[in-house]
Amino acid sequence: MVIELKNDFLTVQFKEFGGALSSIKDKDGVEYLWQGNPEYWSSQAPVLFPICGSLRDDEAIYRPSSRPHFTGVIPRHGLVRKKTFTYEPLSENSLVFSITPDAEMLANYPYDFELKIIYTLIGKTIKTSYQVTNRETEKVMPYFIGGHPGFNCPLLADECYEDYYLEFEKEETCTVPESFPETGLLDVNKRTPFLEKQNILNLDYALLSKDAITLDKLASRSVSLKSHKHDKGLRLDFEDFPNPVTLSNYTRLLADGIGHYFLNSTIITVVSVILVTLFIPAAAYSIARNMSKKRAFNIMYSLLILGIFVPFQVIMIPITVMMSRLGLTNIWGLIILYLTYAVPQTLFLYVGYIKLSVPDSLDEAAEIDGADKFTTYRKIVFPMLKPMHATTLIINALWFWNDFMLPLLMLNKSSDSWSLPLFQYNYTGQYLSDYGPSFASYVVGIITITIVYLIFQKHIISGMSNGAVK
């Protein structure tokens, strides 16, 4: 059966195998679509799903919550390009091909989906639309979708390849990644300069001496194939393919349980900050008031702030061993460590601030009024430390919220106790990083601590400037 769309300008044919284009001819009978020479490339315009390009060893690794990770085999450019689609006419100038997964596809790509490819002929334009539906009730479905049309060059029999050129919509300056034809992989970090302030690229077989060229850094959303000898040619528009604004990565985070890890980080940060604010100012007040009277307080102060100069790497292993023996490799053990490690810097700031901004005469006046030391501290001194409270809150909250190394050492026995940074790290692997949900989780973390900063930031400058006095 011939599947065809036709008007006064073009005759376009399709095939159910792959749901793809098979011919594009103008009114003069000139064929624009590559006709699949097996000597070079047997395909014509395959649809690429659920991947574009290649995976290392064709192996996809899945890590569902329902069972340990497993692998599936997805060949280059995906699973559907060699499958038969269902064809349905929509109108005299539009048709649709659709496919759902069979048992073989589900074994290697465990997601129930429906893919529709809608072709519409409008004047001299063929519009291709892709509709991907995730039919899973709970799982978030990762996928790529792409077209891979090949075009004839030259278009006419009396021409050669070098008679043609590509014209980009915008002036381009870009690099291209190194390719590996034997695997189909790209090294996107190892790049070679390719276009330099130009929108014209003259074609030459030497350009393709190693492999196809991947232009992944184009500013243009349109590129034309043109001849130096005549006005026949074509233009490919792909304006709908820039990264669209979507909330799917945030939906993925919710499905992956970010709320639990967000709560863990909130508990760790809030409890740690409260303990720091309760205990360290009290110690600082006692030291500041007695440093000039008793040498023991000077020695105590010096020993405590020496911790600023001890690199964490020096004590990392002993602390981990000690906390493990005490059975404190959990959230509460981590909070104890945060309180301990916050002492040197926080104590230094509070002592300096109290000596500079809270005069001894206030204590004397309170004592005359009959207040004991604790009442003086609670009702007079502690409220006067508000700028320093805000300063240390921001400094320590930023650290507690964003810290990775201590949670990695203390909370690695069970994923239930992970903090948000450990959850974020789960999206990074040896060979592949899942950037979508990873960066969405960074946004969640950044917005939270930024709100806290904005609330208290007006107190920080005064607190830091007045507290950094020994």
| Rounded Cα distance, 391 and 457, in Å | 8
User: At a CB cut-off of 8 Å and minimum separation 6, what does 403 contact?
Assistant: 419, 421
User: Hey, CA dihedral for 396, 402, 404, 407, is it positive or negative?
Assistant: positive
- The predicted structure's pLDDT at residue 462: 52
Q: What is the pLDDT of residues 133-159, one digit of tens each?
A: 999 887 888 899 999 999 999 999 999
Residue positions counted in the chain? 470
Question: Which sign, positive or negative, has the C-alpha torsion 316, 320, 326, 328?
Answer: positive
Angle between helices 435-456 and 248-255 (to 10 degrees): 90
Tens digit of each residue's pLDDT (9 = 90 or more) over 193-229: 999 999 999 999 999 888 889 998 899 999 999 999 9
**Residue listed under structure tokens 């409890």:** 271
Taking 50 as the pLDDT cut, the residues of the chain under it are: 463-470
Query: Which pTM was predicted?
Result: 0.59
Report residue 75 CA to chain centroid gap: 25
Q: Where are the alpha helices (DSSP H) in 310-433?
A: 312-325, 331-357, 360-368, 373-376, 382-384, 386-402, 405-410, 420-425
* Cα R_g (the chain), whole angstroms: 33
Please give the pLDDT value at position 251. Answer: 82
What is the distance between the alpha carbons of residues 464 and 349, in angstroms, rounded to a whole number? Answer: 7
Q: Which residues pair with 202 in a beta bridge?
A: 165
Half-sphere exposure of 128 (CA within 13 A, CB side): 20
pLDDT of residue 465: 44
Rounded to whole angstroms, the Cα distance separating 333 from 414 reads: 14
Convert the pLDDT of each residue in 254-295 to its tens digit: 888 899 999 999 999 999 999 999 999 999 999 999 988 888
Q: Would you state the pLDDT for residue 453?
A: 80
Q: Kindly state the helix (H) or strand (E) to which residue 254 belongs, with its residue range.
A: helix 248-255
Both tokens of residue 93?
A: 């100038």
What is the distance between the alpha carbons of residues 437 and 387, in angstroms, rounded to a whole number?
37
Kindly report the number of other CB atoms within 10 A of residue 428's CB atom.
11
Say what the pLDDT of residue 469 is: 46
